[in-house]
Amino acid sequence: MEWYSLNNKVFIVGIFIPIIMGIINVSVEILIQFASIFTRPVNETKNIIDCITGISAIQFINLGLILIFVSIHYDLNILGIQNPPGILQGKFNDFSSGWYNKVGAQIIMTMIIEIVAPHGLPLVLTIYYGVSRCIDRGCTKDKRKTKQLIQYNYEQLYIGPEFTLDNRLA
């Protein structure tokens, strides 16, 4: 029974750590996009490149470096100063099969979440706008028919949301 309880804890931690890292990465993406407004880029392309660079760097630090620094054990003794608490004080001395079982699985799970997450909201919005257009046309196939009286409302319904390239590429 003790093995079952321990196995469940390991499984739950293995699932929640990638989800938390995904939430952190999405939050950082939103923050970088918001901050990029104030950088006064030359054009929109430069703004997108800056966002992609910033998001990719933060994801690399969050996913790669933090997990490695927390999981690997290495005695770093520089001028008599020991490791800072929690850094390089993990259970693993090397990249062994145990490390790949525990940490590598979390990295792969986080990568899967990061691959799917940027496409979730646009997919939901595409379905929402498709259903809204169908209701607007009275569920007919005639694309010239609409219940919208104001041009702005018509354009908002039929153009859809902005395609954010930087979220999908980073």
Write out pLDDT tens, residues 40-61: 767 777 777 777 787 778 777 7
Q: Is residue 158 a part of any domain in this protein?
A: no
Inside any domain, residue 41: yes
**Is residue 10, in this structure, part of any structural domain at all?**
yes
Q: What is the spatial distance between Cα 32 and Cα 36, in angstroms, rounded to a whole number?
A: 6
Q: What is the number of domains present in the chain?
A: 1
2, two tokens: 């003790």
Q: Distance between CA atoms of 51 and 170, rounded to whole angstroms? A: 8
Burial of 34 (0-12, 13-18, 19+ CB in 10 A): exposed
pLDDT of 169 reads 60
Q: Are the beta carbons of 146 and 156 closer than 8 angstroms?
A: no
Contacts of 55 (CB under 8 A, 6+ apart): 25, 28, 29, 32, 166, 167, 170
| Residue reference for tokens 């293995």 | 14
For 60-117, write each residue's pLDDT tens digit.
777 777 777 777 777 777 667 776 666 677 787 777 788 788 777 777 877 787 777 7
User: Quick check: is 150 in a domain?
Assistant: no
Residue 55: φ, ψ to 5°: -65, -45
Instruction: Tell me: pLDDT of 126 over 80.
Output: yes
Distance CA(168)–CA(170), nearest Å, equals 6
Where in the sequence is the domain holding 111, given as residue range(s)?
2-119
